[in-house]
Each structure stands twice: as structure tokens, then as C-alpha cells.
Amino acid sequence: MLLLAPSGAGKSTLLAALAGLLDPGTAGQAEGELRVDGRDPRAARERTGILFQDPESQLVMARAGDEVAFGLENRCVPAVEIWPRVDRALTQVGFGYGRDRPTDALSGGEQQRLALAGTFALGPRLLLLDEPTANLDPAGAALVRRSLMEILADRSLTLVMVEHRLAEALPLVERAIVLEAGGGVVADGPPDEVFAQRGEQLAAAGVWVPDRPLVAPRRRSQPARIPMLVAESLAYRYPGEPAAAVDGVGLQLDSGEVLAIVGANGSGKSTLALLLGGLLTPTLGSVMAGMGMAGSPPGPLGKWPARQLAAHVGSVFQDPEHQFLTERVGDELRIGPLRAGLSSAEAQVRVDELLVRLHLDHLADANPFTLSGGEKRRLSVATALAAGPAVLLLDEPTFGQDRRTAVELLELLAQLRDAGSALAIVTHDQPFAAALADRTVRLENGRLA
């Protein structure tokens, strides 16, 4: 079954409820009845496996093999069976390392593979997957889908999946259920029938629908191309790692340009984005401001004061929660403008504009950590935009977004491009990159391919 809905409509909450992870007595208010295999979901947990939208929140052990074995040990699987099941699950998801790989050394996509392996290893009868391929490169996503097809072949497993890569996911499912934000089920049936009968309506509501690609916004101006960031012989090696995550990369990012950075999981894309944003100090090489970054301080970006860096360069992390600092969405958005030197009144005007533009105005008083995955991603984008930087670096900005907010984000970034900002986007979202990017570079093992 494919579960579809706009961002924030409750998809992830429903999966958590089915997995027996919500306690109505402490987690909020509930009504109605929910049963898994005829029982309360909390009594059926031994037959259920779930992959969360944020894989990092699912990892609890220091080594990859121990992570996959953790659930098996907790379910008292005989010791002689554990490691064969661990190895089989790691192979099923294409995990590229052995059992001893430290989990804190994994990229976002590698974390997702490992968390999925831990779910597969349990052999659940009910498998709940929240965007299982969102952080995976195309080859890795295809491998996961093939593994799912094999697991589903004997008809002993029920799959409930939230997924935005619909064209690729449809061969796995027989039924599509569409939820409405604040409402209930608005469509339920074979996917082809649901999309044929209600495709336009669903797309307008923000639901991803096959055969309705994102349309590239037309350029409204052609700003002069002036260097904004210049990276020369850039390299970075994480402590204790035998090889550099980024090795000898040189590139230039110009005003009015959108650069897409693509590559396999673990190829160094996120590390490169952190280096370009001045948030990591390179082991070798440098990142310098180009002549187009007016008023920037001298020297490499990694040496700039935080106030100057925030005013000139905005970064959106792969994990939005890594950049949240306050307990209110509105306060989160004020940090950047105030640090960049705007008055309180000027900062509030910018905050209000971004809240409306990114459909977060109804959440201004909410705690950022309580938002849905898609809402957290939009907030992280908004915080990077709030200070009005000349350069914007975004790591997987469309993760968890429904169609409506992806279109809004596409149009917003296109406006920044047309106004002369320089943008670099790390992404596995090929349609989004094709619609927006002027140029694409590919990383392979930390080097430009």
C-alpha cells in the first residue's frame, strides 16, 4: 500500500501509530480504534518493522553490524542465527562497508541503508517505510526496490510505504490511500484508478502524482556572471579515516547561477557543501570569496567571524535538526536577520514573509523539533534565507516535501537566481535538479568526475 498526503497531513504519525510507538495517554489526544493483526499495535510490535523518515534517529549502536543485530538480540533470536541475518540484510540494501564500520562515519544515505537493513533483518510481517529511498542515490534506490520486490514475492508481508519517487515505487504497490490534512481518507483504490480519477485534484492539493513533472521557472533576467565563491584544490579528511572525504576539488560558483552537486551516497557531497559554506576548515586548499561578494571580510571563509559568515552565506544542512537553536519557529527565523545587523522591525518583516511563502505561518509558535519532516526541511531553508545571503548552499532541500511546497521552493530559488544570488544544491532529486540547475558536477570518491 502506498500512503499519500500533503506534507504535515499525518503520514509519519500514522506509521508510528501502526508500529505501536504512540501512547495516547502521553503523546497527545486520540480517538477511534487502531488494530494490527487484531490487536492493539503496542501488543503486535514483534511482528512490525518501521523505517523512520530521519534514519539518524533510528541508529543506536556504534558499529554497523551491532546496529543491525540490536533488534534481533532484543527479540531473543538465537545467537547462531543473528550474524547470518545481519549479513544478508546488509547485502540486501547494498551497504558498502563491513560490520565494523562506525555508524557516526556514515553519510545520510548510508545511514538510511543501515537503518533499512536493521528493519529487514527482523523479518516483520508488517513493514512500514517512511520515504525509504529519499536519501539514496539512483542506483541505491533501485537496489532497495529490487530487495523489496523479492521480500514481497511470497505474499507473507504487508507493506505500507510513504514515497515521493512514485514512478519507480508503483510496481511495488497494489493500493493507494490518500489522506487529507486535518481530515481523513479522500481516495482509496488501485493506484492507476486513483491517479486517473483524481490526479489533477491531488496535484493541486500538493500530493505527488505520476506524469506531472516539475516545470522549470522561466528566467526573468540574466544577471552578469561574477565569481562569488572560488574553491581551489579543496581537500578534507575526517579524523581517523584512511581516505579524504573531499580530495582536490576546484570549482567556481558565480552570481545568477544554480549548481547541482550529485553523486553516490558517501561520495563527499555533504562535506563539500560544508566546506563551501565555511563550516569546515579544509585540510588542504581554500574557499575564498569572489569579487561579486561585496563587503565580505578578507581571507578564507572558514576564518570569517560568524556574524559575517551568516550575512553572506546561507547553509541548509542535510539534517534540519542540526541547525535549530530555539523553541519557537518564529524565533528560529529571527536569528539570521538579527545577526546580520537588521533591526528588530526589519527582521520581523522578513520572518513574516518567509513564514507565509513556505507555508509555515500557522506554525510560528510551534517548537521546531515537533514539526513533520517536510516542515522541518522548509524551516531549515527559511532560516538560511532569512539573513538574505548572496550565496546559498542547500543539502537535499526537497527531502520530505509534498508537490506544492517543492514547486514553491523551485520558484523561490529561481527568484533568488534571477536576482543574482549564487546557489549550490546537493541532491539526489533528478527532476528538481533538471528543472533548476544551470550546471551539474558529479563527485566520485571525493573527486570531481
Span 304-318, average pLDDT: 87
CB within 8 A of 298, min separation 6: which ones?
none
Instruction: Give the residue range(s) of CATH 3.40.50.300 domains in the chain.
Output: 2-205, 227-448
What pLDDT sits at residue 423?
Answer: 96
List pLDDT tens digits, range 119-161.
989 989 999 999 888 778 888 888 888 888 888 887 888 999 9
pLDDT at 273 over 90: yes
Q: What is the pLDDT at residue 381?
A: 87
Whether domain 227-448 has CATH 3.40.50.300:
yes
Q: Between residues 263 and 359, which one has the greater pLDDT? A: 263
- Please report, rounded to a whole number, the percentage of residues in the chain having pLDDT higher than 70: 99
Distance of alpha carbon 438 from alpha carbon 428, whole angstroms: 16
Rg of the chain over Cα atoms, rounded to whole angstroms, equals 22
* pLDDT computed for residue 25 by the predictor: 63
Band (226; pLDDT cuts 50, 70, 90)? very high
Residue 26 confidence (pLDDT) above 70: no
Residue 24 has pLDDT above 70, yes or no: no
Q: Is the pLDDT of residue 296 over 80?
A: yes
Question: What is the assigned CATH class of domain 2-205?
Answer: alpha beta
pLDDT of residue 110: 87
pLDDT at 32 over 60: yes
Higher-scoring residue by pLDDT: 228, 93: 228
What is the pLDDT at residue 412?
Answer: 87
Residue-level pLDDT at 167: 83
Residue 310 — pLDDT band, cuts 50, 70, 90?
A: confident
Of the chain, the percentage scoring pLDDT greater than 90 comes to 47
Output the pLDDT for position 27.
57
Residue 437 in this model has a pLDDT that exceeds 70? yes
pLDDT above 90 (res 3): yes
Q: What is the pLDDT of residues 61-118, one digit of tens each?
A: 999 999 999 999 998 999 999 999 999 999 988 888 889 999 988 887 888 889 989 9
pLDDT value at 272 more than 90 = yes
Is the pLDDT higher at 447 or at 132?
Answer: 447
Q: What's the average model confidence in pLDDT over 365-393? A: 87
For 220-242, what is the mean pLDDT? 89
CA distance 247 to 235: 4
* Most confident among 7-16, 247-256, 406-415 (mean pLDDT): 247-256
